[in-house]
Amino acid sequence: MILILGIPDEAPVARAIAAAEADGIGHLVFDQRDHLSANLMLTLDPIAGWRGTLSHPKGTVNLASVSGVYVRLMDERFLPDIVDLPADAPQRLRSARFHALLHDWLNVAPIRIASRPRAMLSNMSKTYQAGIIRRCGFAIPETLVTNDPDTVLAFVARCAADGDDVVYKSVSGTRSIVQIFEPADRERLSRIRWCPTQFQRKVRGHDVRVHVVGKQTFATAIRSDATDYRYARRQSADDAELTTTELPPATRATCVALSGALDLPFTGIDLRISPSGEVFCFEANPCPAYSYYESRTGAPIAAALTRWLAGEK
Amino acid sequence: MILILADAHDAGALWLRATLTPLVAMPLVVLTPARLVYARTIMHHMDSSGTHSCFDFGDGTSLHSSSIRGVVNRMSGAPTDHFSSAEPRERLYAASELQAFLLGWLASLPCPLLNPPAPESLAGAWHTDVVATQLAALAGLRCRPFVIDADDPPQSNSTMTGTAHFILDGKVIGPMLPARDRDALIQFAHLWGSRLVQVETCQEEGRLTFLGASSLPHYQRGGPTLVRAMAQVFAT
Residue A263, Ramachandran bin (φ over 0: left; ψ between -120 and 50: alpha; else beta): left
Let me know whether A21 and A169 are in one domain.
no
pLDDT for res A294? 96
Using the Cβ of A87 and the Cβ atoms of chain B, whether some distance falls under 8 Å is answered with no
Quick check: A146 and B97 CB within 8 A?
no
Q: How many structural domains compose chain A?
A: 3
**What tens digit of pLDDT does each residue of A28-49 get?**
999 999 999 999 999 987 777 7
Cα–Cα distance measured from residue B66 to residue A52, given in angstroms and rounded to the nearest whole number: 50
Higher pLDDT, A87 or A258: A258
What is the arithmetic mean of pLDDT over A135-153? 97
Question: Would you say residue B160 has pLDDT above 70?
Answer: no
The ipTM is: 0.93
CA angle at A86 for the pair A83 and A88, rounded to the nearest 5°: 115
Let me know whether B6 and B110 are in one domain.
yes
Let me know whether B150 and B179 are in one domain.
yes
Calculate how close chain B gets to A51, using CA atoms only, in Å.
Answer: 10
**What tens digit of pLDDT does each residue of A221-236 get?**
999 776 677 666 666 6
Residue of B46, B152, B208 best to disrupt the A interface, most CBs of A under 10 A: B46
pLDDT for res B156? 62
B147 contacts on A by Cβ (under 8 Å): 41-44
Let me know whether B7 and B82 are in one domain.
yes
Using the Cβ of A111 and the Cβ atoms of chain B, whether some distance falls under 8 Å is answered with no
Cα–Cα distance measured from residue A199 to residue A202, given in angstroms and rounded to the nearest whole number: 9
Mean pLDDT of chain A, nearest integer: 93
Cα–Cα distance measured from residue A220 to residue A208, given in angstroms and rounded to the nearest whole number: 5
Using the Cβ of B48 and the Cβ atoms of chain A, whether some distance falls under 8 Å is answered with yes
pLDDT tier for residue B159 given thresholds of 50, 70 and 90: low
Domain around B104: 2-114
Q: Chain A residue closest to B85 (CA)? A: A194
Let me know whether A182 and A221 are in one domain.
no
Quick check: A46 and B128 CB within 8 A?
no
Let me know whether A147 and A133 are in one domain.
no
Let me know whether B80 and B170 are in one domain.
no
pLDDT for res A45? 77
In sequence order, the 6+-apart residues with CB closer than 8 A to the CB of A43 are A50, A51, A52, B145, B146, B147
Let me know whether B160 and B108 are in one domain.
no
pLDDT for res B155? 66
Cα–Cα distance measured from residue A244 to residue B83, given in angstroms and rounded to the nearest whole number: 45
Q: Indicate whether B122 belongs to any domain.
A: no
Let me know whether B94 and B140 are in one domain.
no
Let me know whether A217 and A269 are in one domain.
yes
pLDDT for res B78? 84
pLDDT for res A138? 98
What are residue A41's DSSP bridge partners?
A53, B149
| Domain closes at, from A201, A228, A251 | A201
What are residue B5's DSSP bridge partners?
B31, B73
Calculate how close chain B gets to A122, using CA atoms only, in Å.
Answer: 6
Quick check: B103 and A147 CB within 8 A?
no
CB-CB neighbours of B178 under 10 Å: 9
pLDDT for res B86? 85
Tell me what percent of the residues of chain B surpass a pLDDT of 90: 80
pLDDT for res A234? 65
Let me know whether B97 and B28 are in one domain.
yes
What are residue A284's DSSP bridge partners?
A269
**What tens digit of pLDDT does each residue of B201-211 get?**
999 988 999 99
Quick check: A145 and B128 CB within 8 A?
no
Q: Indicate whether B227 belongs to any domain.
A: no
Of A49, A139, A147, the CB nearest to B42: A147
pLDDT tier for residue A175 given thresholds of 50, 70 and 90: confident
What is the arithmetic mean of pLDDT over B137-154? 86
Let me know whether A108 and A234 are in one domain.
no
Interface of B with A in 72-91 (CB under 8 A): 82-83
| Domain closes at, from A177, A201, A225 | A201
Cα–Cα distance measured from residue A50 to residue A39, given in angstroms and rounded to the nearest whole number: 15
Let me know whether A102 and A196 are in one domain.
no
Lowest mean pLDDT among A10-19, A134-143, A178-187, A246-255: A178-187
What is the arithmetic mean of pLDDT over B91-109? 94
Q: Indicate whether A249 belongs to any domain.
A: yes
Quick check: B97 and A172 CB within 8 A?
yes
pLDDT for res B154? 67
Residue B137, Ramachandran bin (φ over 0: left; ψ between -120 and 50: alpha; else beta): alpha
Let me know whether A128 and A229 are in one domain.
yes
Quick check: B93 and A174 CB within 8 A?
yes
Q: Indicate whether B234 belongs to any domain.
A: no
Q: Indicate whether A79 belongs to any domain.
A: yes
- DSSP 3-state helix, strand, coil percentages of chain B (rounded to 5)? 35, 30, 35
Residue A159, Ramachandran bin (φ over 0: left; ψ between -120 and 50: alpha; else beta): alpha
Domain around A237: 122-138+204-286
Q: Indicate whether B172 belongs to any domain.
A: yes
Q: Indicate whether B223 belongs to any domain.
A: no
pTM for the predicted model, two decimal places: 0.92
